[in-house]
Structure 1
Amino acid sequence: MDSAELRGALEDAGLSQYQAEAYNTLLQLGAASATELADACSVPTARIYDVLRDLESKGYIETYEQESLHARARDPKDVLTDLRGRAELLVDAADEIEERWEEPEVDRHKVSIVKRFDTVFDHATAAIRDAKYEVQVSATLEQYRELKPALEAASRNGAIVKLSIHTPPTGGPDLPPSSMFEGATTEVRHRELPTPFVALVDRTETCFAPHAESLNQYGVLVNDYTLTYVFHWYFQTCLWEVWDVIYDGRADMPPMSYADIRRCVRDIEPLLNDGVELTVSVEGFATETGENVSLSGTVVDVLYEGMRSTEGPPPLSQLAGQVAIYVETGDGVVTVGGWGSVLEAVEATRVTIEAVDGDRRIVER
């Protein structure tokens, strides 16, 4: 580093142009009178005394009287400590800028765009581990193996876990045995197409990244109820509904729990049509106030678009609009909807079939 570069660095460290010039010159001279120092550098004689006082107050030099004012550089230990501390602070600032550029803080934004898949995957893992109600995941087999401990934690929390496994159309790995999914998932389906990584957690968190062969590589992190609902329908229609079930850990007799009101209506409507009495419990919140709600009673009817226009369980296309169940609680009939409820009294986060009159199976396999 030459003298000009050193002066520039000292200015970056907080010295003025004249202070940096005077200190740099004094380092070369060792000691000098104020007038000698002014002659040796570009600081005007009229300013040299103020410059020396400022440098002394900052700890760079010391002054003394010897017929006239003289100055010499102090032991640079304190100066070096200050400069190195500033350097470390700048390095830390650079690291922080890089981190914030690559990974915006999710809690300050409803939507964050990130550059690295690892950021998406790590956020999904943390969100899944704390899930309480429902997890929907689209992943490769390798990604599933990495997520399995978090999915097991979610299952222990009581969350319903839906997993869409995707493999290449040809030459993909063999699917693992059903035991690989036990304890970590509720139901698994298989899709033989390149598929994005998706994780939806408790109706609020979305973690999305394009599939590995996509030209554009980025990630999306969403912390928003409404936007996550949009991703939910993408998951239902593209990654779930039409694909083969390869593992089903759901119960087929009470108690049987649902996080999805549409799935519940599909299963119970045939029983209601046969006159079977269904006792349910519901956990959720009031759509008008947001207060938590717990209720139990008997299902007296269901509601959805195009009711009873087809034989058997209704297709998903008939369940895209309003869907509700009517529960007689003893204090009156309560309308219970699912995710996105507006017209119903309660948005259910969990519907549990507690009893079925006549010992009927809810799901036939």
Structure 2
Amino acid sequence: MDTESLVEVLEAAGLSPYQADAYVTLLDLGAASATNVADASDVPGPRIYDVLESLEDRGYVETFEQAALQVRAHSPSKVLEDLRGKATRLERAAEEVEKRWDQPELAAGDASIVTRFRTVITRAKSFIAEANHQILLSATVENLERLRPAIEDAADRGVSVRVSVHTDDDRTALDVDRFAECCTEIRHRPLPAPFVALADRRRACFAHPPDSYDRYGVLVNDRTHTYVFYWYFLTCLWEPWEQIHRPDDGYPIEYFDVRHLVRDLREIDWRENPVRLRVEGYHTDTGEACQIEGLVTDIRVPFETEATNGFELSGQVTVDLDIDGEHMSIGGWGAIVEDVEGTRLTVIG
């Protein structure tokens, strides 16, 4: 680094132009008289004594008397401490600028566009860490590994975790057992797909596949927008693909959507085989959380066919319960006309 650049750096570190100039001059001269320092630098003669005194107060130089006032650079430890301390603060400031630019805060009702997948995966980790009920994921095996600690912690809290694993083709071997303990259900899509993470029906992360022409991510903290991502997940990333893991230990059987529950109820002929259902969700009139349990007394669907061709996923689907003689209707995500919006539906017998 040349002298001019060193002076500029010292100025940036907090020295005045005269202080920086005088200090660098002293580093070159060693011990010198005050007048010699003034002559060798751009510091005016009348100012040199004030400048040297201020440097001495900072611990950068020391003065001593001979025939005339002499000055020399002090041990550089104090200078190095100051410079390294400022460097550390500048580095932290740079990291904070990058973080705030890269990971905008999401207030309720917000949506943000980001440019880095790292931001999307980091925000997905935080959404998973804060989830209380349900997580839906579409991810590669590699990204599942990155999220694995957060997923395991969520499963330990009792959060339902369902994952659609996407691979480039159907020849890719999947180690299902590695994720079986922390995932309620796993499906395999043998096609590239976007990264999607949905938490508690309110927060969503989305990113295009790595080889996509569009390379951006979307972060959402809003129930309505998350609902759109949910339907994309349900119809494109979940419903059509093979189920490769789900506990098969009899009851209880857990569902994350009332439509899947109704489809299975029709298959087992619920009228001939009474079904007891536990529902976690929210009262639609007050928004208050609730947990109820009762016998299924009716199911209401907008379709007549028994075929499972995907169309039965749309429209109003309702399950009626008898709870100790009291009737209560259960709907799915976004329920309005039913009594309860069910977020976790568990057949317990």
The TM-score bracket by the shorter chain reads 0.7 to 0.9
1:282 Cα deviation after fit? 1.8
- Of the structure 1 ranges 26-35 and 38-47, higher mean CA displacement relative to structure 2 is found in 26-35
Match of 2:87 in 1: 87
Pair 220,36 (structure 1): closer, same or farther in 2 beyond 3 Å? same
Q: What is the rounded CA distance, in whole Å, between the counterparts of 2:211 and 2:217 in structure 1?
A: 14
1:41 Cα deviation after fit? 2.9
- Residue 160 of structure 1 contacts residue 258 of structure 1 at CA under 8 Å; is this kept in 2? no
Match of 1:7 in 2: 7
> Helix, strand or coil: the match of 1:59?
coil
Q: Structure 1 regions of 5+ residues with no counterpart?
A: 356-365
For these two proteins, the number of residue pairs brought into alignment is 348
Pair 233,25 (structure 1): closer, same or farther in 2 beyond 3 Å? same
Q: Deviations over 1:290-329 (max 9, x none)?
A: 432122223333445xx3x423267644543443333332
> Helix, strand or coil: the match of 2:79?
helix
> Is 1:339 aligned with 2:337?
no
1:17 Cα deviation after fit? 1.4
Q: What is the rounded CA distance, in whole Å, between the counterparts of 2:80 and 2:146 in structure 1?
A: 47
1:270 Cα deviation after fit? 6.9
- Residue 284 of structure 1 contacts residue 350 of structure 1 at CA under 8 Å; is this kept in 2? yes
1:251-266 mapped onto 2 (5 Å cutoff): 254-266=251-263
Match of 1:200 in 2: 198
- Of the structure 1 ranges 288-297 and 92-101, higher mean CA displacement relative to structure 2 is found in 92-101
> Is 1:320 aligned with 2:314?
yes
Q: What is the rounded CA distance, in whole Å, between the counterparts of 2:54 and 2:252 in structure 1?
A: 80
> Helix, strand or coil: the match of 2:103?
coil
Q: What is the rounded CA distance, in whole Å, between the counterparts of 2:131 and 2:50 in structure 1?
A: 65
1:264 Cα deviation after fit? 1.9
Pair 250,310 (structure 1): closer, same or farther in 2 beyond 3 Å? farther
TM-score, structure 2 as length reference: 0.78
> Helix, strand or coil: the match of 1:236?
helix
> Helix, strand or coil: the match of 1:43?
coil
TM-score, structure 1 as length reference: 0.75
1:92 Cα deviation after fit? 4.0
Q: What is the rounded CA distance, in whole Å, between the counterparts of 1:94 and 1:226 in structure 2?
A: 35
1:232 Cα deviation after fit? 1.0
- Of the structure 1 ranges 114-123 and 210-219, higher mean CA displacement relative to structure 2 is found in 114-123
Q: Deviations over 1:96-141 (max 9, x none)?
A: 444555x426667854555554554465467557755333232345
> Helix, strand or coil: the match of 2:192?
coil
Match of 1:362 in 2: none
- Residue 106 of structure 1 contacts residue 221 of structure 1 at CA under 8 Å; is this kept in 2? no
- CA RMSD between the two structures: 3.9
Q: What is the rounded CA distance, in whole Å, between the counterparts of 1:349 and 1:68 in structure 2?
A: 86
Q: Structure 2 regions of 5+ residues with no counterpart?
A: none
- Residue 259 of structure 2 contacts residue 312 of structure 2 at CA under 8 Å; is this kept in 1? no
